[in-house]
Structure 1
Amino acid sequence: MADYIVGLTGGIGSGKTTVANLFAELGIALVDADVVARDVVSKNSTGLKAITRRFGTKILLADGNLDRSALRERIFNSDKDRLWLNDLLHPLIRQNMLQQCKEVQSNYVIMVVPLLFENGLDRLVHRTLLVDIPPELQQQRTIARDAVSAKQVQNIIGSQATRADKLSKADDVIDNQGEISALKCKVNALHTLYLHLSSEA
């Protein structure tokens, strides 16, 4: 059971997943908010049943799974529905992540949360780690990776906390503009620090 939680975050295209996987290679358990968010609305889940009660079966696919694009369209056009959905899902996601943290066998656990500061989830962790790159590099990497337009990427970056805000809140920062070898060195150094901090917790 891991009693010490490090919250890992970073804007789109920053390299959060790469950093998380480097920690995993060192034997550290990961709890990923994006995975949990999918689990809490999986087929026959409590979350999906509540969503179906509110919006009807038209937000389901033929196989009984959630039709994400139909739900997105529905909440995109209604602040009230979006708030309702957030009020339903955020506590479920929080509870599920904390439960997973309790169950892992690891000296500490990395909780990967894209919107760690935006959703106030930094309150659940002992320490925060930000993967940081300049916005123009975020844009280049995301366009190359996801084949999306520059405007779409700008909208996503604009909807997240500012770089300055995240930098001011983070306990630790990894600058991810360099080579993978440099990144590994930074992760190894932080791993040593987190082992020390978790042993004292």
Structure 2
Amino acid sequence: MLKIGITGGIGTGKSFVSKIFKSMGIAFYDADKEAKDIMVKSDIIRKGLINEFGSETYGEDGALNRKWLADKVFKDPEKLELLNGIVHPVVIQDALDWTEKQRGAYSLKEAALLYESGSYKSLDYTILVAASLDLRLKRVMKRDHVSKEEVLDRMSRQMPEEEKKGYADFIIVNDEVTPLLPQVLAIHRKLLEI
């Protein structure tokens, strides 16, 4: 079975495009959602995070103190890299284990940091969902009720879209003009042929 990754910067609509593939019966792994669960369940991650960031990382009930951790790492690139170095390998392995259990022509893994984390290296092909900066800003500001500056700050922590295009095997344009379904179906047919 082929292992396919799908990604895109914040506000490109990668989750929406992923839902189209999922509605066609494609096995689907949401790396960002799974990472949230794994950060609570994995003893390796728990020990690593407590070692690096302190016992405040988890509450007395065992829940991850997400806001506290986010405040600690998102303004400090070195701490963010440290966090990702603890979490990403475990999530990448979980996705590989999940893929081994799937059946069909291909499975799809959605991850916001597919290229940044290096997890694209364990995949056969990748799909990038792309949209203009203005459209991405508008979408995220409306969805998350945040300022333009806050969205730009989030975007600054992701690989630029132009750089991602150099890694992508397929690109889906989500500009609210070009129909999505024909693009998804064309990629689906190519993957079935492979």
TM norm structure 2: 0.90
2:183 maps to what in 1?
186
Are 1:40 and 1:48, in contact at CA under 8 Å, matched by a contact in 2? no
Are 2:40 and 2:62, in contact at CA under 8 Å, matched by a contact in 1? no
2:121 maps to what in 1?
123
Are 1:42 and 1:66, in contact at CA under 8 Å, matched by a contact in 2? yes
Q: Choose the corresponding residue for 2:174, options 169, 176, 200.
A: 176
2:192 maps to what in 1?
195
The 1-side partners of 2:79 and 2:147 are apart by 27
Assess, with a 3 A threshold, how the Cα gap between structure 1 residues 77 and 133 changes in structure 2: closer, same or farther. Answer: closer
Letter in 2 for 1:4: L
Assess, with a 3 A threshold, how the Cα gap between structure 1 residues 83 and 163 changes in structure 2: closer, same or farther. Answer: closer
The 2-side partners of 1:73 and 1:145 are apart by 21
Does 2:79 align with 1:63?
no
Are 1:75 and 1:82, in contact at CA under 8 Å, matched by a contact in 2? yes
76-85 vs 134-143, greater mean Cα deviation = 76-85
The 2-side partners of 1:86 and 1:127 are apart by 23
Q: Choose the corresponding residue for 2:147, options 146, 149, 155.
A: 149
The 2-side partners of 1:76 and 1:144 are apart by 22
The 2-side partners of 1:194 and 1:106 are apart by 11
2:70 maps to what in 1?
72
The 2-side partners of 1:160 and 1:80 are apart by 14
* 1:147-182 Cα distance to aligned partner (Å, 9 max, x none): 1110011112222222221222211111111369x2
62-71 vs 22-31, greater mean Cα deviation = 62-71
22-31 vs 112-121, greater mean Cα deviation = 112-121
1:39 maps to what in 2?
37
Letter in 2 for 1:110: L
39-48 vs 71-80, greater mean Cα deviation = 71-80
C-alpha displacement of 1:78:
5.6
Letter in 1 for 2:125: R
* 1:8-65 Cα distance to aligned partner (Å, 9 max, x none): 0111111101111100111101111102211221146432243234444322234221
Letter in 2 for 1:69: K
RMSD value over aligned CA atoms? Answer: 2.1
SS of corresponding position for 2:64: coil
C-alpha displacement of 1:188:
1.4
1:106 maps to what in 2?
104
The 2-side partners of 1:39 and 1:52 are apart by 17
SS of corresponding position for 2:34: helix
* 1:94-137 Cα distance to aligned partner (Å, 9 max, x none): 11111111112232011111112222222111111111111111
The 2-side partners of 1:77 and 1:153 are apart by 14
TM norm structure 1: 0.87
C-alpha displacement of 1:81:
4.2
Are 2:84 and 2:117, in contact at CA under 8 Å, matched by a contact in 1? no
Are 1:27 and 1:106, in contact at CA under 8 Å, matched by a contact in 2? no
Letter in 2 for 1:192: R
Q: Percent of pairs identical after alignment?
A: 31
